[in-house]
Amino acid sequence: MSTKPKVAFVCVHNACRSQIAEALGRRLAADVFESFSAGTQARPRINADAVRLMKQRYGIDMEATQRSKTLEALPPVDVVVTMGCNVQCPALPCAFREDWGLEDPTGRGDEAFHAVIDAIEARVLDLRRRLRQGEIQR
């Protein structure tokens, strides 16, 4: 049984930012925490632009390893990271919570997606560091 903390990346639709964060968490921080994502109103599929750019940048095929899902599909988690919902962010029981306040790039150009992916990568790496160093209590 894993003793690594479980981190849920949460937004409303679980179609773009939270999916990117889950994929990057798995790629960049799997040694420190387990990554999950969900939303309150799951979409039928992950955002096509996010899927395309994650394949180009990291070789990650999110459609092969992830699916859009609601909060009920999550296991109990230690850390909840909301993406910046611009509406009421979903609430989940957890020991630590933070909001990354990221704008949804859906419907905007690749430049907007790259900016969000860059921000998510930096924040995933920072979350990894803080969890590893014990700065976040779970």
Task: List, for residues 6-60, the tens digit of each pLDDT value.
Answer: 999 998 889 999 999 999 999 999 999 999 999 888 888 999 999 999 999 999 9
Q: Which residues contact 90 (CB under 8 A, 6 or more apart)?
A: 10, 11, 12, 38, 39, 40, 71, 82
Evaluated on CA atoms 92, 64, 5, 76, the torsion sign reads: positive
pLDDT value for 112? 97
pLDDT value for 1? 47
Evaluated on CA atoms 48, 73, 65, 127, the torsion sign reads: positive
Q: How far apart are CA 72 and CA 2, in angstroms?
A: 21
pLDDT value for 130? 97
* H-helix or E-strand spanning residue 112: helix 110-132
pLDDT above 80: residue 90: no
**Residue in 116, 77, 74, 117 with CA at minimum distance from that of residue 97:** 77
